[in-house]
Every structure is written in C-alpha cells, then in structure tokens.
Amino acid sequence: MFVILKSDVENREIEKFLTGLKKTYNADARLVVKNDKKIIVIFENNLKIDVGLLKSFDFVDYIDDSGELMGLVSRFFKSDDTMISIGNKIVGEGNFCVISGPCSVESEQQIYAIAKRIKMAGCGLLRGGAFKPRTSPYSFQGLRRRGIELLLEVKRAIGLCVVSELTDLKYLDLFSDIDVIQVGARNMQNFEMLRQLGRCDKPIILKRGISNTIREWLLSAEYILSGGNDNVILCERGIRTYEPLTRNTLDISAIPMVKKISHLPIIIDPSHATGRKWMVAPLSKAAVVAGADGVMIEVHNSPSRALSDGKQSLDLDEFDNLMKNIKALVKFSKKII
C-alpha cells in the first residue's frame, strides 16, 4: 500500500505517522522520496489497515492500494531514467551496454581467449555462468566455485567487469567481487532471493521469467527496489509461446512498454530468446532501434565444442562483426560501453 503525502508535510508528522503504524499494526513501513513526492510504503503482512483512518490525516494526499501504480519501479515514483554504475561504466540513458561471453565458464584457456577478444572488440562487460540452471540434471552444471574464481582472475588480469548468475542464496558470499549478479529466468519469482538482493547495493540483472507477464516481471523488480537496492537492469530473454522454430519468442514490444511504465534500464538477450546464432545480429540491431539500453550476447571461442548453448553462441569473428554493426547503429544517438 502506498500513502502519498502532501508536499508540505513536516518531518515530525512523518515520524509520528510511522511510529503510529508500527504501534497499531506492527507494520513494516518506510518513507520513500522520489520526484519530490513523499510516499510511505507499507508492506502488508495480513494487516487489517483502516484506510479511512489513514486518509483522515491532514497531510495524507491519497492512498493507493489498488496495485495499479506498480510501485517504486514505476515512472509515477521516478520520472527520469535510472542510471546504473558498473565499475566506471554507466548503464542507462545515453549509453548502449554490450555484455558478452560464454554461456558457461568452462576452463581457464576458454575464458581468457573469449575475454581478450571481446575487450579488443570494445565490449567492457564479460558474462559467464558458473552455477548453471540446466533443464536436465545430466547436462553440464557449471564449474561452480571454480567458475567464479576464474571470472575474478580474468576481471583482474584483463580489466573487464564480470556478470554471473546466482542460482541459490547460499552462494551469495562467493559473489562479493562479481560486478553484476544475474537472476535467471527460472529464479525471477524466487521472492526470498529477490528480497535478499534488495539488501545489497550491487547491480542486478533481472531476467524475465519464461512464462511471465511484464507486470509480474516488474513486480519482481519491485521486491529488489523495495528492499533498498535501486540498481536493477531488466533483461528480456524471450518468452515461451506456441512457436517451435525458435527456442523462445523475443518480446521486442517489452522494450517500449517497460520504458513507458518504468524508469529502469532494459536490455535484451537474443541468444536465449532464439537459440539460433544467425538470429542474434538482426535482433540485436532491432533492440537498438526499439530503444533498449543494451544487449547480452553469448560468445564462445569454439561454439561447436561448447559445453552449453553452443548453437546460439557467436564465434569470436562473428562477435567482432556484430560489434561493428552495433557501433554503426548507435553512433548517432548513444555511446557503447
């Protein structure tokens, strides 16, 4: 529930109001200031809040408990675009972020070979899965702890920011030097994980769930923001439809829709969206034109030998080419980071 306060409300009135909420309802409530609006966010836990009573305070403008406002992720709370710092790079307005790397970190030789080339091509963010959420328990599950160690070695040696997927909160400590934590499609509604990630200030890439609506996706981001972490990048990675020729269906329309509703940056992942490497370039270009803030692309030094997702991975030369195409497209409006 959101209690929108009048602009001339005094701090002591807010404090008294919060104390009253705690005393009367044992409510978990906090003040959020966005766009010069002062809003009290109340996390409802079976509370029978007397809305009429809250409305009767002079300094309360109005109350929204309809869910329509979507919350802190929405432009209602913050009209200007959110910019997110990753190392010395800023994701958001004015920049186009390219994240690339293998589906899985497989070996020292593999990750170094890829990292060097993507950096040379002008890409500053390396992705690589260490803990892999695989459909079959018999498929390669990732190098796990060793995968994270390799990413951190590469980060130091080559000077790239690194992105990796957290599949379970029990591994969170291993991610302290990872620059961006990815929440994968399968964990988009792991609410305990989202709540916990709201308590850190690390940038989070939140992928859209395989069968989730945009509203559900934004509400998952709301779990992170409402915990105090505003650094969320949304990633559209294709949704499941009746179309069998692609792995998923890339919902390009999510880009303008998210941009309209939310101030958070949105990137797209054409690799997982299609499962086909030859579709990665056209859809990356479509993402630029549709107004996305970036792309995440799977790249491998030897796709035919990849331990996961080789069919959708570009080889190093193909990635070079794609970077040239993206650079040409974004040249007039944005800067590649």
Taking the complex as a whole, how short is the minimal distance between the CB of residue 306 and ligand PEP, in angstroms? 12
Identify residues 305-334 at the interface with ligand PEP (CB under 6 A): none
Q: Based on CB atoms, which residue is closest to Mn ion, 84 or 296?
A: 296
Which of residues 272, 277, 285, 300 is near ligand PEP by CB under 6 A? 272
Alpha helices in the chain (DSSP H): 11-25, 51-55, 108-120, 145-154, 191-197, 214-226, 254-261, 270-274, 280-290, 316-330
Residue 237 interacts with which of Mn ion, ligand PEP, none, CB < 5 to 8 Å by class: ligand PEP
- Could you tell me the CA-to-CA distances from 91 to 21, 71, 131, 214, 219 in Å, in that order? 37, 22, 25, 21, 21
SS3 219: helix
Taking the complex as a whole, how short is the minimal distance between the CB of residue 135 and ligand PEP, in angstroms? 9
Taking the complex as a whole, how short is the minimal distance between the CB of residue 74 and Mn ion, in angstroms? 31
Which of residues 179, 269, 309, 315 is near Mn ion by CB under 5 A? 309
Interatomic CA distance for residues 204 and 248, integer angstroms: 23
Residue 133 interacts with which of Mn ion, ligand PEP, none, CB < 5 to 8 Å by class: ligand PEP
Cβ(199)–Cβ(180) below 8 Å: no
Interatomic CA distance for residues 70 and 158, integer angstroms: 41
Per-residue contact flags (x/-) with ligand PEP for residues 177 to 216, judged by CB under 6 A: -------xxx--------------------x---------
Q: Total residues at the site for ligand PEP (CB under 6 A)?
A: 11
Per-residue contact flags (x/-) with ligand PEP for residues 87 to 106, judged by CB under 6 A: ----------------x---
Sequence-distant (≥ 6) Cβ neighbours of residue 191 within 8 angstroms: 220, 223
Sequence-distant (≥ 6) Cβ neighbours of residue 92 within 8 angstroms: 81, 82, 83, 84, 265, 293
Interatomic CA distance for residues 201 and 288, integer angstroms: 28
Interatomic CA distance for residues 125 and 179, integer angstroms: 9
Residue 207 interacts with which of ligand PEP, Mn ion, none, CB < 5 to 8 Å by class: ligand PEP
Q: Is 103 in the site for Mn ion (CB under 5 A)?
A: yes
Sign of CA dihedral 144, 150, 152, 155: negative
SS3 306: coil
Taking the complex as a whole, how short is the minimal distance between the CB of residue 16 and Mn ion, in angstroms? 52
Q: Based on CB atoms, which residue is closest to Mn ion, 1 or 103?
A: 103
Q: Based on CB atoms, which residue is closest to ligand PEP, 78 or 237?
A: 237
- Contact residues toward Mn ion (CB under 5 A) are 103, 309
- Contact residues toward ligand PEP (CB under 6 A) are 103, 129, 133, 165, 184-186, 207, 237, 269, 272
